[in-house]
Amino acid sequence: AQSVTQLDSQVPVFEEAPVELRCNYSSSVSVYLFWYVQYPNQGLQLLLKYLSGSTLVKGINGFEAEFNKSQTSFHLRKPSVHISDTAEYFCAVTINFNKFYFGSGTKLNVKP
Partner 1 sequence: DTEVTQTPKHLVMGMTNKKSLKCEQHMGHRAMYWYKQKAKKPPELMFVYSYEKLSINESVPSRFSPECPNSSLLNLHLHALQPEDSALYLCASSPHPLGGRDNEQFFGPGTRLTVL
User: Which positions lie near partner 1, rule CB under 8 A?
Assistant: 32, 36, 41-46, 49, 51, 90, 96-100, 102-105, 107
Q: Which is nearer to partner 1, 30 or 112 (CB)?
A: 30
Instruction: Please state, as a whole number, how many other Cβ atoms lie within 10 Å of the Cβ of residue 80.
Output: 11
* Minimum CB–partner distance for residue 45 and partner 1 (Å): 7
Q: What is the C-alpha separation between 90 and 106, in angstroms, rounded?
A: 7
* Minimum CB–partner distance for residue 27 and partner 1 (Å): 15
Q: Which is nearer to partner 1, 73 or 100 (CB)?
A: 100
Q: Which is nearer to partner 1, 99 or 112 (CB)?
A: 99
Please name the amino acid found at residue 104: S
Q: Which is nearer to partner 1, 32 or 72 (CB)?
A: 32
* Minimum CB–partner distance for residue 105 and partner 1 (Å): 6
Q: For the purposes of burial, counting CB atoms within 10 Å of the CB of 2, is it exposed (0-12), middle (13-18) or buried (19 or more)?
A: middle
Strand 3-5 to strand 24-26: parallel, antiparallel, or no bridges (unpaired)? antiparallel
| Partners of 45 in the β-ladder | 37
